[in-house]
Amino acid sequence: MVFERIRNLREDRDIKQRQIAEYLNVSQNTYSQYENGIISLSAETAVKLAEFYEISVDYLLGLTDEKQPYKRR
């Protein structure tokens, strides 16, 4: 579920894997493995992706279909 969501979010915005990998400070190959479900996202990486896409981590993890992030403190 997570890998499908991160791929769809990226493709819907016409962003290259390389660009997201640079933002996350990982290699393009590592990011590709996230999208293919080969390796799991760390909590830190999930938070960074949620911030980048301005969505909730719950949405990213498939716990809700509501994209709107929670208000931050």
**pLDDT score, position 70:** 65
Q: Is 13 inside a domain boundary?
A: yes
CATH of the domain at 46: 1.10.260.40
Query: What separation in angstroms does the CA of 63 have from each of 20, 26, 32, 48, 57?
Result: 23, 25, 22, 17, 9
Confidence of residue 63 (pLDDT cuts 50, 70, 90): confident
- For the chain, the first-to-last Cα distance in angstroms comes to 28
Q: Is 55 inside a domain boundary?
A: yes
**pLDDT score, position 73:** 65
Q: Is 73 inside a domain boundary?
A: no
Which residue type occupies 15?
I
Predicted TM-score (pTM) of this structure: 0.85
Q: Is 67 inside a domain boundary?
A: no
- Domain extent, residue 34, equals 2-60
Q: Is 69 inside a domain boundary?
A: no
Q: Is 53 inside a domain boundary?
A: yes
- The total number of structural domains that make up the chain: 1
**pLDDT score, position 15:** 97
